[in-house]
Amino acid sequence: MSVTRAEKPKKTGRNPVDYAKAPINADLTKEQKLGFLADMLRIRRFEQASLKLYQQGKMGGFLHLYIGQESVAVGTLALMGDHDHAITAYRDHGHALVVGMSMNECMAELLGKATGCSKGKGGSMHFFAPDKNFWGGHGIVAGQTPLGLGIAYALKYKDLKGCCLTYIGDGAVNQGVYHESLNLASLWDIPVVYIIENNQYSMGTSLARSSAIKSCLAERAEGYKIDWDIVNGEDLYEVRAKTWDAIERAHEKCRPTVLEIDTYRYYGHSVADANAKKYRKPEEIEFYKQNHDPITLWENRLKEEGILDEAELKKVDEAAKKEAAAAVQFAEDSPFPEPEDIFSDIYYEVDMGTESGQTGRHFFND
């Protein structure tokens, strides 16, 4: 397979191929399309609210913002069926909200509160909702790549027609375990879809300074006989169409795919990234905001289609802001975990009080 990188429509923000007509998009209802807008806005407003909390010193550790990349989570995760699963890295807020986790539990987790999705034990990088087929939220670059593989392996083992959407950043393609995972995925026909969210910078190191092949990261899949594609992340229709192809390949042929979705983050690697505007020019960030913002582009698209006007847009956006503000309130009002909570959720058998959880000393404090 030989694919050359599609000419990205940098100037116009308009895709030369109209993916709105792709089968997975052709029958979308107005409500669904507005729902995608709402979800993208919810991510952005949630994160803007979280940034304020961070700047107020109410949050520990890191805060990796997803702002600018919203179309990826919304475009891909909205395609999940009952037996499809997802797992991602530490920039996980967007994915969490799209799979249906509430802003309240997510915001509370950011503040380390007992009402957080991980009871305040995981923090920003570690959101989980297995009941929604969402398996985190992982802090070590590429550490989740074999986990996604294993989730998909289990689906196949159980004869379930599903897949695992496994998200990584552009920096993760240089980790060995990713390549071990690709080899296993292809060798064993595992229904996993690796989605590289290429925001062009692995922390402060540009793609040109980190990848031997500078034009394309997904292409490395060639080495493992895995189908791959590159995706213009600013076009929600294209994201959906190409991701659906990959999901169908997993469902119907039990074959993996590597997708590389071009996107861009406006903030630093994390909010603590003091050099966020030093390894790239402020003009570059501004250019993307002005010309390639996935939410603005989707708004424009829906306006062109005649299903969105300013009043509706304002209504959707206000709802997202209101939800985020309420989540902040909920999080601030919530209690911190108790000191004794440090010792739960370590061993299942101990938590459940089983026989196995009661033999021997599990913890070695005083």
Closest distance to other proteins from the beta carbon of 192 (Å) = 9
Establish if 83 lies at the interface with other proteins (CB under 8 A): no
Binding window for other proteins (CB under 8 A); candidates: 152-160, 218-226, 235-243, 295-303: 152-160
Establish if 347 lies at the interface with other proteins (CB under 8 A): yes
- β-sheet bridge partners, residue 81: none
Output 298-306 pairs: Cβ under 8 A, ≥24 positions apart. 298/36, 298/37, 298/40, 298/71, 298/236, 299/37, 300/13, 301/20, 301/236, 301/237, 302/33, 302/34, 302/37, 305/33
Which strand (E) or helix (H) includes residue 232? strand 227-232
Among 13, 75, 112, 116, binds other proteins (CB under 8 A): 116
Closest distance to other proteins from the beta carbon of 26 (Å) = 33
Site string for other proteins, 164-183 (x = CB under 8 A): x-----------xx--xx-x
Among 3, 187, 213, 325, binds other proteins (CB under 8 A): 187
Classify residue 134 by its DSSP letter.
Answer: B
Characterize the bridge pairing of strands 201-202 and 205-206: antiparallel
Q: Which residue, 83 or 280, is less far from other proteins as judged by CB?
A: 83
Which strand (E) or helix (H) includes residue 146? helix 145-157
Q: How many residues bind other proteins (CB under 8 A)?
A: 59
- Supply 207's token pair: 């793609």
Which strand (E) or helix (H) includes residue 333? helix 310-333
- What are the phi and psi torsion angles at 94 (to 5°)? -60, -45
How far is 199 from 348, CA to CA, in rounded Å? 38
Chain centroid offset of residue 25 CA: 21
Closest distance to other proteins from the beta carbon of 91 (Å) = 16
Establish if 76 lies at the interface with other proteins (CB under 8 A): no
Classify residue 273 by its DSSP letter.
Answer: -
Closest distance to other proteins from the beta carbon of 65 (Å) = 20
Residue 128 has, within 13 A of its CA and on its CB side, a CA count of: 12
Q: Max alpha carbon distance in the chain (Å)?
A: 68
Closest distance to other proteins from the beta carbon of 351 (Å) = 6
How far is 333 from 67, CA to CA, in rounded Å? 26
Site string for other proteins, 302-341 (x = CB under 8 A): ----------------------------------------
Establish if 201 lies at the interface with other proteins (CB under 8 A): no
How far is 110 from 330, CA to CA, in rounded Å? 12
Establish if 356 lies at the interface with other proteins (CB under 8 A): yes
Closest distance to other proteins from the beta carbon of 331 (Å) = 15
The position carrying tokens 């192809």 is: 245
Binding window for other proteins (CB under 8 A); candidates: 112-120, 256-264, 282-290, 315-323: 112-120
Establish if 353 lies at the interface with other proteins (CB under 8 A): no
Establish if 256 lies at the interface with other proteins (CB under 8 A): no
Establish if 138 lies at the interface with other proteins (CB under 8 A): yes
Among 17, 24, 53, 184, binds other proteins (CB under 8 A): 184
How far is 125 from 43, CA to CA, in rounded Å? 15
Contact residues for other proteins, defined by CB under 8 A: 87, 116-122, 126, 128-131, 135-140, 143-155, 157-158, 164, 176-177, 180-181, 183-184, 187, 344-349, 351-352, 354-356, 359-364
